[in-house]
A and B are shown apart, each in its own frame.
Chain A
Amino acid sequence: MLAESLFFSAVLFVIGVVGVLTRRNAIIIFMCVELMLNAVNLAFVAFAQVYGVAGQVFVFFVMTVAAAEAAVGLAIIIALFRHKPTVNLQQINLLKG
Chain B
Amino acid sequence: MLLALQQAQDAAAHALTGTAAEWLWVVPLLPLAGFVINGALSLFSATDLGPADPSAAHADAPSAHDSGTAHATGGAHGDDAHPVVRHRYAGITSFVGSAVLILSFLLSAVIFWQYKSIEGTVHAPYVQTYFSWLPAGDLQIDAALMIDQLSLVMLLVVTGVGALIHLFSVGYMREDPGYPRYFAYLNLFVFFMLVLVLGANYPVMFVGWEGVGLCSYLLIGFWFSEKANADAGKKAFIVNRIGDFGFLVAMFLMFANLGTLDFLQLQAATPDLVAGGALVTAICLFLFLGCAGKSAQIPLYVWLPDAMAGPTPVSALIHAATMVTAGVYLIARSHFLFALAPVASLTVVVIGALTAVFAATIGLKQWDIKKVLAYSTVSQLGYMFVGVGSGAYSAGIFHLVTHAFFKALLFLGSGSVIFAMHRAYHATHSHADAQDMRNMGGLGRYMPVTFTLMWIATLAISGVPPFSGFFSKDEILAGVFARARESLLADTRWLGIPGNFVLYGCYVLGLAAALMTAIYMTRMMLYTFHGPNRTGETERGHLAEAPWIMTGPLVVLGILSAFGGWLNLPALLPLGPIGLLEHWLDPVVGESALRLTHGHAPELTHSLEYALVGTAVAISAIGIWIAWSRLKPSALVPAAQAKPEEGFERVLAHKYYVDEMYDRAIVQPTYSTSRNLLWRGIDIGLIDGLMVNGSAWFSRGVGWIGSAIQSGQLGTYAWVLVLGVLAVVGAVTLR
The residues of A with any CB-CB pair to B shorter than 8 Å are 17, 20-21, 24, 29, 89-90, 92-97
A97 / chain B contacts, CB cutoff of 8 Å? 706-712
Complex Cα distance, B713 from A95, in Å, reads 8
Q: Of A24, A94, A96, which one neighbours B715 at CB under 8 angstroms?
A: A24
Known interface pairs A17-B722, A21-B722; A95-B710 also in contact (CB < 8 Å):
yes
Does B714 touch A at the CB level, under 8 Å? yes
Complex Cα distance, B722 from A20, in Å, reads 10
Complex Cα distance, B710 from A29, in Å, reads 20
A-B contact pairs, 8 of them (CB 8 A): A21-B715, A21-B722, A93-B711, A93-B713, A96-B713, A97-B706, A97-B707, A97-B708
B718 / chain A contacts, CB cutoff of 8 Å? 20-21
Main secondary structure of the interface of B (DSSP, over half): helix
Contact A89 B714 (CB under 8 A): yes
Complex Cα distance, B708 from A97, in Å, reads 7
Known interface pairs A21-B715, A24-B715; A96-B722 also in contact (CB < 8 Å):
no
B714 / chain A contacts, CB cutoff of 8 Å? 29, 89, 92
Q: Of B709, B710, B711, B719, which one neighbours A21 at CB under 8 angstroms?
A: B719
Contact B710 A96 (CB under 8 A): yes
Contact A95 B712 (CB under 8 A): yes
A95 shortest CB reach to chain B, Å = 4
A94 / chain B contacts, CB cutoff of 8 Å? 712
Complex Cα distance, B716 from A24, in Å, reads 11
Candidate in A17, A92, A96, A97 with the most chain B CB atoms within 10 angstroms = A97
Complex Cα distance, B341 from A48, in Å, reads 102
Q: Which residue of B lies closest to A23 (CB)?
A: B715
Shortest Cβ-Cβ A-B pairs, 7 listed: A97-B710, A93-B712, A96-B712, A97-B707, A95-B712, A89-B714, A20-B718
Complex Cα distance, B710 from A21, in Å, reads 17
A20 / chain B contacts, CB cutoff of 8 Å? 718
Q: Which residue of A lies closest to B713 (CB)?
A: A93
What is the 8 Å Cβ interface bit string for chain B, positions 692-735, against chain A (1 contact, 0 not)? 00000000000000111111111100110010000000000000
Complex Cα distance, B714 from A90, in Å, reads 8
Q: Which residue of B lies closest to A20 (CB)?
A: B718
A97 shortest CB reach to chain B, Å = 3
Question: Besides A90-B715, A93-B712, 15 other CB < 8 A contacts?
Answer: A21-B715, A21-B718, A21-B719, A21-B722, A24-B715, A29-B714, A89-B714, A92-B712, A93-B711, A95-B710, A95-B712, A96-B711, A96-B713, A97-B708, A97-B709
B719 / chain A contacts, CB cutoff of 8 Å? 21
Complex Cα distance, B722 from A97, in Å, reads 21
Q: Which residue of B lies closest to A94 (CB)?
A: B712
Complex Cα distance, B709 from A24, in Å, reads 19
Complex Cα distance, B282 from A69, in Å, reads 89
A90 / chain B contacts, CB cutoff of 8 Å? 713, 715
Known interface pairs A97-B706, A97-B707; A89-B722 also in contact (CB < 8 Å):
no
Q: Which residue of B lies closest to A96 (CB)?
A: B712
Complex Cα distance, B713 from A24, in Å, reads 10
Q: Which residue of B lies closest to A17 (CB)?
A: B722
A96 / chain B contacts, CB cutoff of 8 Å? 710-713
Q: Which residue of B lies closest to A93 (CB)?
A: B712
A92 / chain B contacts, CB cutoff of 8 Å? 712, 714
